[in-house]
């Protein structure tokens, strides 16, 4: 197996695992953009690019909580594809374009969740008589069938994300320095707005505001000391 094929397989497997971690399997924060980006950057030999891209998308994903039947973006495989783009050149040029790719892929990934839920509901209905009878084999069967749905969903999203990331990187779809710098500025501004909006929306008590102000003060002091 060539190194290139091995890398693609590793990226697809990692993207699939990140998708499963979102709700179906582990839920150990492996699906968070910061974690996915860091690991993807390490696989690509560009850990700094992965951390930057992961941090950017993490700011957009902070308010995403995979609860119940709510609709939310899936940043797992999306971050893998976006990191491929981010590692293609100087971060000032590629970060904004990579962020755009990541957000678009995350929205597409999120749109597949209702279909997966409908398939899972169909599986439950098919096994309802046996479930009502207390058949433990039926419980295991439903769990495996529903997990299989998400394995397929996450695997397809990972393949698409890696394919899109590679296409943007290797087919000359990356923006030039001028547009790339502009997209990076827009992405950073959007991330800052997303964090500010989330902080204001979630600050329902004086205690939260005090912690927010304290965090800003500590961050400002840390930045000033660099």
**pLDDT per residue as tens digits for the range 16-62:** 999 888 877 777 888 899 999 999 999 999 999 999 999 999 988 88
For residue 89, pLDDT over 80 is answered with yes
Task: Tell me what the mean pLDDT of segment 111-137 comes to.
Answer: 88
Q: What is the pLDDT of residue 165?
A: 93
pLDDT (average), residues 151-177: 91
Whether 224 has a pLDDT exceeding 80, the answer reads no
Does position 73 have pLDDT exceeding 90, yes or no?
no
Write down the pLDDT at residue 226. 55
Name the residue with higher pLDDT: 203 or 66.
66
Q: For the chain, give the percent of residues with pLDDT over 70.
A: 87
Kindly tell me the sign of the dihedral angle through the C-alpha atoms of 102, 103, 107, 108: negative
- pLDDT-derived band at 214 (thresholds 50, 70, 90) equals confident
Mean pLDDT of the chain: 84
Q: What is the pLDDT of residue 166?
A: 93
Token output for 19: 């998708």
Question: What is the spatial distance between Cα 72 and Cα 63, in angstroms, rounded to a whole number?
Answer: 9
Q: Is the pLDDT of residue 223 over 80?
A: no
pLDDT at residue 203 tops 70 = no
pLDDT band at 192 (very low <50, low <70, confident <90, very high): confident
């Amino acid at each position: 197996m060539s190194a290139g094929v091995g890398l693609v397989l590793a990226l697809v497997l990692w993207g699939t695992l990140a998708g499963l971690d979102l709700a179906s399997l582990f839920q150990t924060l492996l699906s968070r953009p910061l974690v996915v980006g860091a690991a993807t950057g390490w696989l690509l030999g560009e850990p700094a690019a992965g951390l930057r891209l992961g941090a950017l998308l993490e700011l957009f994903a902070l308010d995403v909580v995979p609860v119940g039947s709510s609709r939310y973006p899936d940043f797992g495989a999306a971050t893998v594809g976006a990191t491929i783009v981010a590692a293609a050149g100087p971060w000032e040029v590629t970060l904004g374009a990579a962020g755009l790719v990541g957000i678009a892929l995350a929205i597409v990934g999120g749109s597949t969740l209702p279909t997966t839920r409908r398939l899972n509901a169909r599986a439950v209905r098919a096994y309802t008589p046996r479930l009502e009878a207390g058949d433990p084999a039926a419980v295991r069967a439903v769990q495996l069938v529903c997990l299989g749905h998400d394995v397929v969903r996450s695997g397809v999203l990972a393949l698409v994300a890696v394919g899109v990331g590679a296409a943007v990187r290797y087919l000359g779809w990356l923006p030039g320095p001028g547009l790339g710098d502009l997209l990076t500025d827009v992405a950073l501004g959007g991330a800052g707005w997303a964090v500010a909006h989330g902080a204001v929306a979630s600050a329902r008590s004086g205690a939260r505001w005090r912690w927010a102000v304290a965090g800003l003060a500590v961050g400002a002091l840390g930045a000033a000391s660099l």
